[in-house]
Structure 1
Amino acid sequence: MTYDRLVCANCAAPVSEGRCPVCRASRERLQQQAGFLAGVSPVTLIALLVVLIAAMALLAHQTV
């Protein structure tokens, strides 16, 4: 889940806006925990998966 959909329990505003100190602290913590592929869109991930499957199929075909 991304922090842009989270609502702060302290001020009832979206955490991504960072209106209160609790929001800002949560936003910073979530940004630091973002993984390697956190900023990649789902379409890009699907395209990478298709390329990987095609490469594996090509390698399997060449070894036969």
Structure 2
Amino acid sequence: MTYDRLVCANCASPVNEGRCPVCRASRERLQRQEGPFAGLNPTTLAVLLLALIAVALIAPRLV
């Protein structure tokens, strides 16, 4: 999950702006939890997966 769409329950502002201590703590925690693909949306991940499958299917024919 990305924090750019989350709203803080403490100050009612977006968490990514970090206006209050609760926002800043949540933002830091979420940034630590993010992996290498966390910034990608599901459509991009699906396209990358399809491209990987296509390469896997084509590669044996080239050898």
Q: TM-score, normalised by structure 2?
A: 0.75
For this pair of structures, how many residues does the alignment match?
63
Return the structure number with greater relative CO, CA threshold 8 A, min gap 6. 2
Shift in Å, 1:22: 0.6
Judge conservation of contact 2:18–2:27 (CA < 8 Å) in 1: yes
Uncovered stretches (5+) of structure 2, i.e. residues with no partner: none
% identity of equivalent residues: 65
> Which residue pairs with 2:46 in the alignment?
46
Q: What whole-Å deviation, never above 9, does each CA across 1:2-60 have from its counterpart, x for those lacking one? A: 11111111111111111001100100100010012112344542332222111121145
Looking at CA atoms only, which structure, 1 or 2, has the larger radius of gyration? Answer: 1
